[in-house]
Amino acid sequence: MIMRILGEGQYEITEEHVARLNQLDSALQTAADAHDDVAFTTALSALLDAVRTLGTPLPDERITPSDLVLPDEDTSLAQVRELLSDEGLIPG
């Protein structure tokens, strides 16, 4: 799976890491549903850090469609709430 963090780049995520990312996405969804800005900021940061840590960065010159686009760390709770589906940012 290819994930893009807006303004940063793309990461290749292997299937073995998707469950962990879904756990972090669930925490983000919970914080967003509760309108808890502090928990939201923490959850978004944790999710993006996990993508960076678990994923393999793709070279900028490689043009690959992204399977999933994640907001950057400066995205507000209100903006992310518009992006969330019933499954969060990461389907599954």
Q: Which residue has the higher pLDDT, 43 or 90?
A: 43
pLDDT tens digit string along 75-85?
888 888 777 65
- Cβ neighbour number for residue 55 with a 10 Å cutoff: 20
* 61: pLDDT strictly greater than 80: yes
Task: Calculate the alpha carbon distances from 35 to 1, 15, 86 in Å.
Answer: 29, 31, 16
Mean pLDDT of the chain: 89
Q: What integer pLDDT is reported at residue 82 of this predicted model?
A: 76
Name the percent of the chain lying above pLDDT 90. Answer: 66
Q: What integer pLDDT is reported at residue 22 of this predicted model?
A: 92
Ordered by start, the domain boundaries in the chain are 2-83
pTM of the full predicted structure?
0.87
